[in-house]
Amino acid sequence: MTIAKFSYKKGLARSSLLVKFILDRLAAALALLVLSPLMLIVAIAIYIWIGRPIVFTQPRPGKDSRIFTFYKFRTMTDERDDRGHLLPDDQRLTPIGQFLRQTSLDELPQLWNVLKGDMSLVGPRPLIVEYLPRYSPEQARRHEVKPGITGLAQIQGRNALGWEEKFRLDVWYVDNWSLWLDGKIMFLTLFKVLQQEGINQEGYTTSEEFKGEQK
């Protein structure tokens, strides 16, 4: 009886994952089609006020820490100091870049990541590769699922949250994932975008660097 229940639950989970897999791609394809005029306008605006490249690309870790190319509309210049080092983020962030971040329009190219299968619509946000060796074993569990355009941490405070709280929410999502939870997160994300809350952490353009567990 126990084995039967386990097999049933495992089969149900696989079915739900398959539905998520299909819904992600269908939604991403539809969104890219519907939003293509808006994305073209954003691309032209970036080209005029910031310049090329229009899309920012960066390697990011996905499911099982596999590295993929992450896409995002560019919001910063490449201005450097006399030694060739990039200026701080707050000095490179442009007015149009700030607007794109406030409205989350800079995230739209990630729909292509979803269509490719690198990301999901909902999941822990993909962070930079340099953070991989800094995670505790528990924090690293955020990579047991595909990263998402939005996630539980994004509707709970976004960049205003501290790293420990973000990772706690990411792992909770991994352990409690369901299609219903994804739908709820997507619905609440719309309100958060309209409210424009949690765009940056106090004192930072986005959020402070994650330096690992403090000992």
pLDDT in tens, 142-183: 999 999 999 999 988 877 788 999 999 999 999 999 999 999
The pLDDT tens digits of the residues spanning 66-97 come to 999 999 999 998 888 778 787 787 788 889 99
Domain membership of residue 4 (yes or no) is no
pLDDT, mean over the chain:
88
Domain membership of residue 112 (yes or no) is yes
Range of the domain at 97: 17-195
Confidence of residue 131 (pLDDT cuts 50, 70, 90): very high
Number of domains in the chain: 1
Domain membership of residue 202 (yes or no) is no
> Residue 170: CA atoms inside 13 Å, Cβ hemisphere, count?
27
Better pLDDT: 105 or 160: 105
Contact 114, 28 (CB under 8 A): yes
Q: Which of 41-45, 88-92, 194-198 ranks highest by mean pLDDT?
A: 41-45
Domain membership of residue 209 (yes or no) is no
Contact 125, 153 (CB under 8 A): yes
Contact 150, 122 (CB under 8 A): yes
**Alpha-carbon 193 to chain mean position:** 14
Domain membership of residue 11 (yes or no) is no
Residue 204 has pLDDT above 60, yes or no: no
Domain membership of residue 208 (yes or no) is no
Confidence of residue 34 (pLDDT cuts 50, 70, 90): very high
Least confident window among 18-22, 29-33, 191-195 = 191-195
Whether the model clears a pTM of 0.75, i.e. scores above it, the answer is yes
As a whole number, mean pLDDT of residues 98-116 equals: 95
Domain membership of residue 142 (yes or no) is yes
Hey, is 122 helix, strand or coil? Answer: strand
**Token representation of residue 203:** 């004192």
Domain membership of residue 136 (yes or no) is yes
Query: CA-CA distance, 158 to 166, in Å (whole number)?
Result: 8
Confidence of residue 11 (pLDDT cuts 50, 70, 90): low
